[in-house]
């Protein structure tokens, strides 16, 4: 067992964080490093330089996943992956993803400098397009061989633009499947991330040990009514698609709050047709996303929302159709990785609690492939996907130390 006195170099970590935070900085102090954008490529190039500087091997697979490898003496050893992502959503903060990659990198540097010999290769990985500028989890889906064949066609944005963005990043769209690895070559996957909620902060706990990641289903509800003249149609006898959609939005949130306290929904978009002030809306499309930590409850909640939509439609003499256009199953984290993280917390005197992740992460994809786990550090006010996203630096440092010792615990267990 490695002494719990071994600590990462927090000044070096901070210097890295500050440099990375300048890449994609926007006028409102936010970060924009959409996957495969110029800013994302700049961040990757910066990171490749850091990997070389540290004396690790730079590895760049056919899906653009960028790694730094600290090899062990046995070339046939398995690889323990530790990662996150450098890409961001639009108008993002500095911590989401970036902390995970830099913490993993700093852990490897510290282990390397301490001269610790491990029975596994250690590999820090920046997964391509975690956030889904084009295809959420593009990198981890490719690495695990689960990227759909027609991924280009179903991507967000134009197919030709996605293709161009891949090629610009040096990725051949036809060769992405070559990024697939063999599960037998892996010793596990571990990731540190900001919580993006306020559970840890409010309960004053240092580390969240993730037990599972919520399943997600995405729907489009289309409410159909009848167009009409906005002035001459009676206020009592309209078949106004927007009135049905509006009451549905209100009542859907009430339903989830009252009956599914562990469920989460978001109505993220509304499209009104024809969308002009002088015509009563004939069609309204509501985009809604559902999450639940329990797969069966997620399904029950989805059915309850469909029932509610029909009830709201009937009240305004409308019809409604629902189309589930995306589903990611609930993922359970590995007991052995949970154990390695909790042991590291105890070694370092960090308080910890088990919790579910309401956000998707690459660990969700990796968990179908290899023993995987995650740890969360507190987010101030739970703000995320927003320039105001913030975590205290001492929490970032503590989380990185826990990560490093969790890596050691996992590696030495082999």
Residues that bind a copy of itself (CB under 8 A): 89-91, 132, 195-198, 214, 216, 218, 226-236, 240, 242-243, 245-247, 249-250, 253, 256-257, 263-270, 272, 274-281, 284, 287-289, 291, 357-360, 382-386
Q: What are phi and psi of 283, to 5 degrees?
A: -145, 135
Distance in Å, CB of 14 to a copy of itself, minimum:
25
Q: Are strands 215-224 and 283-292 parallel, antiparallel or unpaired?
A: antiparallel
Tokens 């850091």 locate to 50
Cβ-based nearer residue to a copy of itself, 4 or 299: 299
Distance in Å, CB of 62 to a copy of itself, minimum:
27
Cβ-based nearer residue to a copy of itself, 14 or 247: 247
Token pair in block for residue 256: 């989830």
Query: Residue 355: in which H helix or E strand, if any?
Result: strand 352-357
Cβ-based nearer residue to a copy of itself, 139 or 263: 263
Cβ-based nearer residue to a copy of itself, 21 or 226: 226
Distance CA 149, CA 151 (A): 6
Cβ-based nearer residue to a copy of itself, 121 or 361: 361
Cβ-based nearer residue to a copy of itself, 60 or 271: 271
Token pair in block for residue 347: 């070694």
Distance in Å, CB of 205 to a copy of itself, minimum:
16
Question: Cα angle vertex 68, ends 66, 71, to 5°?
Answer: 140
Distance in Å, CB of 224 to a copy of itself, minimum:
14
Distance CA 264, CA 276 (A): 32
Cβ-based nearer residue to a copy of itself, 56 or 316: 316
Which parts of 114-240 fold into alpha helices (H)?
138-143, 159-168, 199-203
Token pair in block for residue 179: 């990024």
| Residue 194, helix vs strand vs coil | strand
Distance in Å, CB of 25 to a copy of itself, minimum:
18
Distance in Å, CB of 176 to a copy of itself, minimum:
23
Distance in Å, CB of 186 to a copy of itself, minimum:
27
Distance CA 56, CA 342 (A): 28
Cβ-based nearer residue to a copy of itself, 90 or 164: 90
Distance in Å, CB of 214 to a copy of itself, minimum:
6
DSSP output for 270-304? EEEES--TTB--SEEEEEEEEEESSHHHHHHHHHH
8 Å CB contact between 383 and 367: no
Token pair in block for residue 215: 């399943």
């Amino acid at each position: 067992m490695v002494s719990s006195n071994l600590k990462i170099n927090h000044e070096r970590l901070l210097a890295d964080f500050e440099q990375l935070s300048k890449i994609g900085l926007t006028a409102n102090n936010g970060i924009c490093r959409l996957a495969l954008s110029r800013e994302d490529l700049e961040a990757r190039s910066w990171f490749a330089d850091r990997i070389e500087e540290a004396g690790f091997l730079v590895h760049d697979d056919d899906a653009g996943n960028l790694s730094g490898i600290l090899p062990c003496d046995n070339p046939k050893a398995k690889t323990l992956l530790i990662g996150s992502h450098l890409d961001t959503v639009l108008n993002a903060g500095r911590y989401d993803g970036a902390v995970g990659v830099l913490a993993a990198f700093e852990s490897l540097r510290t282990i390397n400098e301490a001269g610790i010999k491990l029975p596994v290769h250690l590999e820090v990985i920046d997964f391509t397009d975690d956030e889904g500028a084009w295809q959420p989890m593009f990198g981890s889906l490719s690495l695990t061989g689960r990227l759909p064949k027609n991924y280009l066609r179903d991507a967000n944005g134009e197919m030709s633009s996605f293709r161009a963005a891949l090629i610009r990043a040096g990725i051949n769209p036809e060769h992405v499947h070559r990024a697939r690895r063999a599960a037998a070559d892996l010793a596990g996957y571990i990731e540190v991330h900001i919580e993006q909620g306020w559970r840890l902060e409010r309960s004053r706990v240092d580390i969240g040990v993730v037990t599972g990641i919520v399943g997600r289903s995405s729907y489009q509800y289309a409410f159909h009514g009848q167009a009409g003249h906005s002035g001459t149609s009676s206020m009592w006898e309209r078949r106004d698609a927007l009135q049905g959609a509006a009451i549905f939005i209100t009542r859907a949130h009430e339903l989830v709050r009252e009956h599914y306290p562990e469920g989460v929904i978001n109505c993220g978009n509304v499209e009104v047709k024809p969308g002009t002030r002088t015509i009563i809306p004939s069609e309204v499309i509501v985009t809604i996303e559902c999450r639940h930590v329990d797969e069966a409850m997620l399904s029950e909640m989805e059915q309850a929302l469909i029932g509610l939509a029909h009830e709201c439609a009937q009240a305004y003499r409308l019809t409604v159709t629902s189309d589930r256009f995306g589903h990611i199953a609930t993922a359970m984290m590995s007991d052995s990785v949970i154990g390695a993280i909790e042991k590291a917390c105890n070694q370092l005197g960090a308080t910890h609690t088990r919790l579910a992740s309401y956000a998707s992460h690459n660990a969700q994809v990796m968990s179908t492939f290899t023993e995987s786990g995650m740890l969360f550090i507190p987010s101030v006010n739970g703000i995320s996907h927003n320039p105001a996203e913030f975590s205290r630096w001492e929490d970032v440092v503590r989380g990185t130390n826990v990560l490093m010792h969790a890596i050691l615990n996992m590696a030495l267990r082999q």
